[in-house]
Amino acid sequence: MMYNPAAPDGRNASLDSAVSPDGQPDAGTTYRVPPRCGVAVRVAAGRSIRVINTHGTQVCDFWAICDGAPHEFLSMAHCHTETGGIMPALGDVMVSNRRRPMLTITSDDSPGVHDRVIASCDWPRYQVLGCTEYHDNCADNFRMALMAIGEAAVHVPDPFNLWMNIPVSPQGRISWEAPVSSAGHSIVMRAETDIIAVMSACPQDLTPVNGDGLAPTELHFRIEG
Amino acid sequence: MMYNPAAPDGRNASLDSAVSPDGQPDAGTTYRVPPRCGVAVRVAAGRSIRVINTHGTQVCDFWAICDGAPHEFLSMAHCHTETGGIMPALGDVMVSNRRRPMLTITSDDSPGVHDRVIASCDWPRYQVLGCTEYHDNCADNFRMALMAIGEAAVHVPDPFNLWMNIPVSPQGRISWEAPVSSAGHSIVMRAETDIIAVMSACPQDLTPVNGDGLAPTELHFRIEG
């Protein structure tokens, strides 16, 4: 069966968690990303998005697509080239797959440990891990968050995994570790073009990426500036 | 203007370099990838593709898409998770963005230094590097190689950069170095599903990724098994 990038493999409350029917936010409102779900929001060029790790060890899979041009998106592999490394840093100008600036990291009060090298969890990943019944997953949350604001995924880009702690050894091996962030830590990214930002509160509860308690929880965010 | 992933930003001889009008190869024939160009070939499940570094220091941007399901493709970020690292190794079963096995590395007589973390060069990259007139690039070669066999790119996936030497420091910084391969080195990958393989003889002549001489050259390949 041909893979359709727009179609989720299952359903969850991401479909009912939109900030508004068209994804336009209210300035100053702090929005919630429910546990195991995704939310999309439009961010106009010049404004910023603050993502808050409410409880301290929750990973946020983060994506940005160009509003009105969905084939152009924040691309980790292009960021590696344009920022000269695989790890993000304060001040990084993160680019699209057309190398246009999309987001600048303007503030980060966490220790700065985020991941840019691994794919979102998805239903096939949970099947690899042994699940036989549908498991919430970040790829589907991306798809459903877009559906909830009237958009469709044309591709599931590789995410910017906020607070995800995936150390890379000198030999290039990776491991899945608990975040080193704390409750209330936040990261602020300024939109350099009109974007749709999508955030998923990662539902991974089989590896410690969301903390050693294996208990995925909520996140919050707001639009500033 | 909305980005269309199928449309090249310029043209070169990739459009006239197909192995056949429909991309079906002859077994045993050694095909050429002209310098600065791309070629696509269909590889049936169970057969293998041997890519040959004819002159020793030429990088090959390599992609695979599922034949008949173009939204599913060899995905570097998914390979990082499923192989447990960012560097490839002999025996790796490389997967698609649906985590299905696509290619197994069955032989590699080079020192095994290949890149899985950076994007293909593209026309925007050469503009970043200062070019004001069109420069051949791997992303366009991918698009044109598909056009030459009657297919259209729905997305330009992140490539598997054969022989590309992009060391990653313990701090996650990357650099662009000359390949450590030698003339005649080859890598063999067995198709685990029906694929279209696309190879681009990288036209990068502004950094030493294709050797300190900054002189991009040809590659060869054949279908085996």
Question: Which pLDDT tens digit goes with each residue over A58-72?
Answer: 999 999 999 999 999
User: Does residue B65 carry a pLDDT above 80?
Assistant: yes
Does B1 reside within a domain? Answer: no
Mean pLDDT of A214-225: 95
CB-CB neighbors (< 8 A) of A125 in chain B: 81, 99
DSSP secondary-structure letter at B37?
A: -
Average pLDDT over residues B212-223: 94
The chain-wide mean pLDDT, for chain B, equals 96
Residue B112: partners with Cβ closer than 8 Å, 6 or more residues away: B88, B89, B90
pLDDT tens for residues B23-36? 999 988 999 999 99
A219 in Cβ contact with A54 (< 8 Å): yes
Average pLDDT of B6-31? 97
Structure tokens that stand for B109 in this block: 């007589």
Residue A30 Cα, gap to closest chain B Cα (Å)? 32
Q: Which structure tokens are listed for B196?
A: 């279209």
Average pLDDT, stretch A153-171? 96
pLDDT at A182: 97
Q: What is the mean pLDDT of residues A145-152?
A: 98
Q: Is residue B213 very low, low, confident or very high in pLDDT (cuts 50, 70, 90)?
A: confident
B101 closest CA partner among B110, B93, B113: B93
Q: Would A40 be classed as within a structural domain?
A: yes
pLDDT of the residue at B214: 87
When pLDDT is cut at 50, 70 and 90, the band that residue B109 belongs to is: very high
**3-class SS at A80?**
helix
CB contact under 8 A, A78 and B119: yes
Structural domain including A19 reads 13-224
pLDDT of res. A91? 97
Residue to mutate among B81, B128, B164, with most A CBs inside 10 A, is B81
Residues in A 5-64 with any Cβ partner in B closer than 8 A: 5
Nearest chain A residue to B174, by CA? A85
The length of chain A is: 225
Element (H, E) at B41: strand B38-43
**From CA A37, how far away is CA A218, in angstroms rounded?**
8
3-state SS of B141-210?
HHHHHHHCCCCCCCCCCCCEEECCECCECCCCEECCECCCCCCCEEEEEEECCCEEEEEEECCCCCCHHH
Mean pLDDT of B43-54: 98
> Which pLDDT tens digit goes with each residue over B168-209?
999 999 999 999 999 999 999 999 999 999 999 999 999 999
Q: Does residue A195 sit within a domain?
A: yes
Q: Is residue B33 part of a domain?
A: yes
3-class SS at B124? Answer: helix
pLDDT > 80? residue B1: no
pLDDT at A168: 95
Q: Nearest-CA neighbor of B121 among B79, B165, B159? A: B159
Say what the pLDDT of residue B2 is: 84
Spatial contact of A115 and A165, defined as CB atoms under 8 Å apart: yes
Mean pLDDT computed over A86-100:
97
Q: Does residue A7 form part of some domain?
A: no
Q: Which residue has the higher pLDDT, A213 or A222?
A: A222
pLDDT number for residue A130: 95
**Which of A24, A49, A21 lies closest to A223, judged by CA?**
A49
Contacts of A87 in chain B (CB under 8 A): 171-172
Please report whether residue A112 resides in a domain: yes
A2 pLDDT band, cuts 50/70/90, is: confident
B185 is a domain residue: yes
Mean pLDDT score, A76-88 = 97
Q: What are the CA-CA distances from residue B86 to residues A210, B162, B196 (Å)?
A: 21, 14, 23
Q: Please answer yes or no on whether B172 and A172 come within 8 Å at the CB atom.
A: no
Answer yes or no: is B219 within a domain.
yes
A98–B124 CB contact, under 8 Å: yes
Judged by a CB distance cut-off of 8 A, whether residue A76 touches chain B is yes
Please tell me the predicted confidence (pLDDT) of residue B142.
Answer: 98
Domains in chain A, number = 1
CB B49 within 8 A of CB B33: no
**Mean per-residue pLDDT, A200-225:** 94
Whether the per-residue pLDDT at A22 is higher than 90: the answer is: yes
Give ∠ CA A112-B177-B198 in degrees, rounded to 5: 90
CB contact under 8 A, A86 and B117: yes
pLDDT at A27: 84
pLDDT band, very low/low/confident/very high, at A1 (cuts 50, 70, 90): low
Mutation for testing the B interface, residue in A59, A92, A117 having most B CBs under 10 Å? A117
Complex ipTM > 0.85: yes
Contact A105, A90 (CB under 8 A): yes
The rounded mean pLDDT for chain A is 96
Residue A213 has pLDDT above 90, yes or no: no
